[in-house]
Chain A
Amino acid sequence: MSAPVRTRRVTPAPMNIALLSDAPHMPMCPGTCVTVEHTHTGDGLISHGDWWATVTPTGTEDVVHVRLCVHRVSDEPDVYVGRLDVLDREGLHVGQPEIVVQGLPRDGSAEATRAFARLLDRAAAVLEEITQ
Chain B
Amino acid sequence: MSAPTLPETGTDRVHVPGCDTNCSSDGCLVTDVIGCVAQVNTGLALEVMAFAYATDDEPTPGGYVELFPTEDGLVEGFFVSPTDARRLAAMLLDAADQVERLTGGAK
Interface residues of A, Cβ cutoff 8 Å to B = 50, 52, 78, 98-104, 107-111, 113-114, 116-118, 120-121, 123-125, 127-128
Complex alpha-carbon distance, A109 and B63, angstroms: 7
Known contacts A114-B93, A120-B85, A124-B86; is A98 also within 8 Å of B79 by CB? yes
A124 to B79: give the CA distance in the assembly, Å. 12
Chain B residues near A98 (CB-CB < 8 A): 40-41, 79-81
Which one, A101, A114, A121, contacts B77 given CB within 8 A?
A101
Residues in A whose Cβ lies below 8 Å from that of B86:
120-121, 124
Number of A-B contacts (CB under 8 A): 79
Given contacts A108-B64, A110-B96, contact A99 B89 (CB under 8 A): no
Contacts of A110 in B (CB 8 A): 63, 65, 96-97, 99-100, 105
For residue A73, give the distance in angstroms from its CB to the closest CB of chain B.
10
Interface size class of B (residues with CB under 8 A): 20 to 34
Q: Are A52 and B82 in contact (CB under 8 A)?
A: no
Residues of B within 8 A of A124 (CB): 82-83, 85-86, 89
Would you give the shortest CB distance from A12 to chain B, in whole angstroms? 29
Asked if B92 and A113 make an inter-chain contact with CB atoms under 8 angstroms apart, the answer reads: yes
Query: A102 vs B100: C-alpha distance in the bound complex, in angstroms?
Result: 26
Least CB distance from A95 to B in Å reads 11
User: Which residues of chain B have C-beta atoms less than 8 A from A99's C-beta?
Assistant: 79-82, 85
If A99-B81, A101-B78 touch, whether A117 touches B67 (CB-CB below 8 Å) is: no
- In this assembly, does B58 line the interface, its C-beta being within 8 Å of a C-beta of chain A? no
A100 touches B85 (CB 8 A): no
- Within the assembled complex, what's the spacing in Å between the Cα atoms of A88 and B40? 24
Within 8 Å CB of B65, what residues of A? 108-110, 113
Q: 8 additional contacts, CB 8 Å, given A100-B77, A103-B77, A114-B92? A: A98-B81, A100-B78, A108-B51, A110-B99, A118-B89, A121-B85, A124-B83, A124-B86
Of the A-B pairs whose beta carbons lie under 8 Å apart in the complex, a sample of 9, sorted by A's number, is A52-B41, A100-B78, A110-B63, A110-B100, A113-B92, A117-B96, A121-B86, A123-B85, A127-B82
